[in-house]
Structure 1
């Protein structure tokens, strides 16, 4: 009996090992979610949202080989990626609960919330098909995906090895404000896209209020982002990782404004440019989220800091 139990006794990972496993899973889920949103944007731009007329299957099949074309593939692959993320979220909850004794107490709750979001996202995904791409459901679908993305990044950042120098001061709240405004701006962009507001405003004179609200919203979102970037630069002894996210945010906000202007001038006629606009917006939200979380952790730290580990 003692010999039969020895393999089980030998498998006793410590807190550090378990955190590494879960952290890697969360980062991979974050990347998959980012790709999922990019594919979802491509699906919308290519008018493929109803390429699969039924849900959750596509033409009553798991793989619709006979009906497969570019539009069907985009919609089918979008669902496949979402299903894989959903299974990963279940695994995340299972690992968090199983190893709860060696993990932070908040992790099972956070992973459970992430699972709730992805289930809710799946329900909204089904409704986008059954309700024939109703604009409010499509916008809520995007908003939930972005919130799920932010949740994963927050979990990953909180699990990362990090020791700051307690120099962030008010940076977490400025970063949170910038991230919140970028999130709202992304929702406005989703509303513009789901209602085809740009086309309607240019060619019919309708929906101009929706489009102009999105354009005006660039100002506070950009100013808040730039404020977070400048404060990161001007804060002495700030952890270099936080400054890295600030630099990434600068590149992304500059690119996003240029891409937005080009998209507007071209009247959404260049599909890859439109997809890139949405993807860069999600990446900007992600960089500001990481800046905020690490800045908040920096405020809770003291003493010298080692290099952080994100793997």
Structure 2
């Protein structure tokens, strides 16, 4: 790729990042570092949702090279190449609309990358000056390294032609980036407004284990959901709760869950049979019951702690909405809006479960360090 194209892409990333940076700088909030963290978390959530839209509209190869589009910085410049590809395959992966969807997704990703670098530089600079815990640079540096890995998988998603395991890992890394930003935002919030301790240490310890289990099952379910989406297995079962008229239909787990293979192919290069797609869909659908059980129990236990009640209610509400949109996707034959909402619900669950884990961990730490804890009324908080 020509150096001028790379320069144009870099300038686009700086331009996208300059908008939220300016908003944070001009805001009345005195703690601009904390505000920047939460703005980045919000934008990362948006990027994940738009990434789901990109995948669901089959726009992942709208520009079949990386990081530009046919070697250009934007689809306007690559108009002739895109028009030629669209003329050859009018319903194929390359169209003008799909090219713009893909490049907008990349521009947003580049902007977030620039924001993460700005956050890292600011944290290191402030840490050297003040040594305040709020600016501890370990997590911002980890975020920078993490986003570099995420960028590499974004490139491989295109260059390896949407290989399912690469696309699924790319999705999981995006969710991981969101979780890290929420964790950092939770740290900034709790340093600014520390919670009062509780004497219910046994309840908090049990809830911490349950919250960790909730995080694990959510990650597994997102991986399974990503595997469904990247293998185009969403409508492999077009009824609910049955699949092909049976509770346990004919399924090919061996080929369905072979990780390293081309899209639509087996590891040996043969076309993937429909029974493999059924297996992929069926596992994701049924694992949702485990997720509902674990998250429902975690939300119920968290609601018994006054400081966690709001988070618990949000988890319960998003969980119900997620179950509804998952079923509706099947009933309504995969409407795009519902499918995008289902992806957004998964990202919201990551955000809320991460928040729950941070709050429980911090609240438990504060309670264990408080000598007067025994004199507090049960579940007492400021």
TM-score range with shorter-chain normalisation? Answer: 0.7 to 0.9
Whether the 8 Å CA contact 1:45–1:271 is kept in 2: the answer is yes
1:185 to 218, 221, 238: 221
**Which residue matches 1:171?**
207
Alignment of 1:186-265 (within 5 A): 186-200=222-236, 204-235=274-305, 238-239=306-307, 242-265=308-331
Q: How well do the aligned residues superpose, as a CA RMSD in angstroms? A: 2.3
State the number of aligned residues: 285
Whether the 8 Å CA contact 2:134–2:188 is kept in 1: the answer is no
**Which residue matches 1:9?**
none
CA–CA separation in structure 2 for the residues paired with 1:103 and 1:88 = 21
Whether the 8 Å CA contact 1:185–1:217 is kept in 2: the answer is yes
**Which residue matches 1:162?**
194
**Which residue matches 1:142?**
171
Whether the 8 Å CA contact 1:150–1:286 is kept in 2: the answer is yes
Superposition deviation, residue 28 in structure 1: 0.8
Alignment of 1:1-311 (within 5 A): 20-65=31-76, 67=79, 69-100=96-127, 101-104=130-133, 107-160=136-189, 161-166=193-198, 167=200, 168-200=204-236, 204-235=274-305, 238-239=306-307, 242-268=308-334, 270-302=335-367, 305-306=381-382
Whether the 8 Å CA contact 1:121–1:144 is kept in 2: the answer is yes
Structure 1 residue runs of 5 or longer lacking an equivalent are 1-17, 307-311
Whether the 8 Å CA contact 1:125–1:141 is kept in 2: the answer is yes
Runs of 4+ off more than 6 Å = none
Alpha-carbon distance change, 297 to 19 in structure 1, aligned in 2, over 3 angstroms: farther
**Which residue matches 1:11?**
none
Whether the 8 Å CA contact 2:296–2:316 is kept in 1: the answer is yes
Superposition deviation, residue 115 in structure 1: 1.0
CA–CA separation in structure 2 for the residues paired with 1:80 and 1:141 = 16
CA–CA separation in structure 2 for the residues paired with 1:255 and 1:199 = 20
**Could you say which structure has the larger radius of gyration?**
2
Superposition deviation, residue 266 in structure 1: 2.9
Tell me the secondary structure at the aligned position of residue 366 of structure 2: coil
CA–CA separation in structure 2 for the residues paired with 1:264 and 1:273 = 10
Whether the 8 Å CA contact 1:246–1:288 is kept in 2: the answer is no
Superposition deviation, residue 19 in structure 1: 9.4
CA–CA separation in structure 2 for the residues paired with 1:117 and 1:127 = 16
Structure 2 residue runs of 5 or longer lacking an equivalent are 1-28, 80-94, 239-272, 368-372, 374-379
Structure 2-normalised TM-score? 0.70
Bigger relative contact order, structure 1 or 2, given CA contacts below 8 A and separation 6+? 1
Tell me the secondary structure at the aligned position of residue 264 of structure 1: helix
Superposition deviation, residue 218 in structure 1: 0.7
Alpha-carbon distance change, 199 to 261 in structure 1, aligned in 2, over 3 angstroms: closer
CA–CA separation in structure 2 for the residues paired with 1:50 and 1:188 = 22
Deviations 1:165-204 (A, max 9, x none): 2343422221121122111101110001101123456693
Superposition deviation, residue 305 in structure 1: 4.6
Whether the 8 Å CA contact 1:173–1:292 is kept in 2: the answer is no
CA–CA separation in structure 2 for the residues paired with 1:181 and 1:99 = 37
Structure 1-normalised TM-score? 0.85
Deviations 1:134-190 (A, max 9, x none): 101000000100111101100110121231323434222211211221111011100
CA–CA separation in structure 2 for the residues paired with 1:163 and 1:87 = 33
